[in-house]
């Protein structure tokens, strides 16, 4: 499918590649694009470093090779520094429109700026998204009063009795992240087993974390702050009332409205971009990498996102330069 036609202003610089998204995938794309001397601009809607920087800056990352453990924020900064040192330009801006213009593309940001590129790499991560809510009584009332959807700074939970809902890697990693400082940590999961990686499951098993399997948080009580969590065993219907100071609900994320359908790119479902092995999308000249892409066997890891970014850059290079060796 082809994009709508846009207009190029004759004086503006045309980048070889504009990377949309400044998380690990986008920043790696920037670093590698510069190794091939492609003029490169990275546009990021929120914060360079992506989720590492704004979602879990104090959470340790244990699976990025060569760092046995590194905090998300620090890793995000290092990615950003590396991309900047490589010579990639970086700007903040939420891309809301992409149009074809002759042999190039025009990208427009929400604040009305436009950028021109011969190729695009979409590294939008999960896109702009909001945490999923349980929608139980008390949840909305106590949001900000003890109920939260991510543990941005583990120091907030020092000496607190914390209940965490969820059975994925995020929930388990948050539990592990705060357990040393918290007074107590209870992990509530609706099934009898976790879906998280064995490494996290094993670490939770060894940590002083109370796990409540087959358990569902059904209401949150308190006064000016959260004080109690009501949890039901979904097999026996036995009710437990736990005294808590904080509740972290970590049950995944829902995308906010995505502009992708308007850009004419073939999607998988409503928001994932279908890519081929070379990270090409259905639109010639537009490539994608990281959490936003879908292909058989896709796994969401920082390191796989970085690998996909390198593949995307090499595909952009071949598309733009048609080198003799490709």
Q: Rank residues 134 and 313 by Cβ distance to ligand NAP and give the closer one.
A: 134
* 3, 134, 242, 279: which one binds ligand NAP (CB under 6 A): 134
Decide: is 233 part of the binding site for ligand NAP (CB under 6 A): no
Which span (25-33, 177-185, 188-196, 308-316) binds ligand NAP, by CB under 6 A? 188-196
Decide: is 166 part of the binding site for ligand NAP (CB under 6 A): yes
Distance CA 177, CA 194 (A): 17
| 318: Cβ contacts below 8 Å, ≥ 6 apart | 326
Q: Give the helix, strand, coil percentages of the chain, each rounded to 5.
A: 25, 30, 45
Q: Rank residues 184 and 214 by Cβ distance to ligand NAP and give the closer one.
A: 214
112: its two tokens:
């009305």
Decide: is 116 part of the binding site for ligand NAP (CB under 6 A): no
51: its two tokens:
């989720």
* 190, 227, 228, 274: which one binds ligand NAP (CB under 6 A): 190
Decide: is 169 part of the binding site for ligand NAP (CB under 6 A): yes
Q: What is the DSSP letter of 96?
A: E
Decide: is 171 part of the binding site for ligand NAP (CB under 6 A): yes
Which span (5-13, 47-55, 160-168, 203-211) binds ligand NAP, by CB under 6 A? 160-168
Please count the other Cβ atoms lying within 10 Å of the Cβ belonging to residue 161. Answer: 18
Q: Which of residues 249-278 bind ligand NAP (CB under 6 A)?
A: 251-252
Q: What is the DSSP letter of 2?
A: P
Q: Rank residues 132 and 228 by Cβ distance to ligand NAP and give the closer one.
A: 132
Decide: is 284 part of the binding site for ligand NAP (CB under 6 A): no
Q: Rank residues 196 and 316 by Cβ distance to ligand NAP and give the closer one.
A: 196
β-pairing verdict for 246-249 and 253-255: unpaired
Decide: is 131 part of the binding site for ligand NAP (CB under 6 A): no
Q: Which of 250, 267, 247 is nearest to 259 (CA)?
A: 267
Please state, in angstroms and as integers, the Cα–Cα distance from residue 23 to each residue in 1, 35, 132, 218, following that order: 27, 19, 21, 35
Decide: is 20 part of the binding site for ligand NAP (CB under 6 A): no
Distance CA 326, CA 324 (A): 6
> Where on the chain is the footprint of ligand NAP (CB under 6 A)?
63, 132, 134, 165-171, 173, 190-191, 195, 251-252, 300-301
């Amino acid at each position: 499918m082809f994009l709508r036609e846009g207009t190029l202003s004759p004086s503006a610089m045309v980048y070889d590649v504009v990377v949309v998204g400044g998380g690990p995938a986008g920043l790696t794309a920037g670093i590698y694009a510069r190794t091939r001397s492609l003029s490169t601009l990275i546009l990021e809607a929120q914060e360079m470093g992506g989720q590492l920087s704004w979602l879990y800056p104090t959470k340790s990352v244990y699976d990025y090779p060569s760092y046995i453990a590194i905090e998300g924020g620090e890793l995000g900064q290092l990615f950003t520094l590396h991309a900047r040192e490589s010579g990639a330009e970086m700007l903040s801006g939420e891309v809301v429109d992409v149009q074809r213009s002759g042999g190039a593309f025009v990208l427009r940001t929400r604040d009305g700026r436009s950028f021109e590129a011969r190729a695009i790499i979409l590294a939008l991560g999960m896109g702009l998204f909001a945490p999923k809510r349980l929608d139980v009584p008390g949840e909305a009332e106590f949001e900000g009063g003890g109920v939260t959807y991510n543990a941005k700074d583990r120091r907030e939970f020092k000496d607190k009795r914390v209940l965490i809902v969820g059975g994925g890697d995020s929930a388990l990693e948050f539990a592990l992240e705060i357990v040393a400082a918290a007074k107590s940590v209870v992990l509530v999961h609706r099934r009898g087993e976790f879906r998280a990686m064995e490494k996290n499951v094993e670490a939770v098993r060894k940590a002083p974390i109370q796990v409540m399997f087959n358990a569902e948080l059904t209401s949150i009580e308190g006064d000016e702050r959260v004080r109690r969590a009501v949890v039901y065993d979904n097999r026996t219907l036995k009710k437990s009332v736990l005294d808590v100071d904080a509740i972290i609900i970590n049950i995944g994320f829902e995308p906010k409205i995505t502009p992708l359908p308007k850009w004419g790119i073939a999607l998988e479902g409503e928001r994932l971009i279908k890519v081929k092995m070379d990270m090409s999308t259905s639109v010639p000249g537009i490539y994608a990498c990281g959490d936003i892409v879908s292909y058989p066997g896709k796994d969401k890891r920082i390191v796989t996102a970085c690998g996909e970014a390198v593949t995307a850059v090499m595909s952009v290079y071949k598309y733009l330069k048609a080198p003799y060796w490709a």
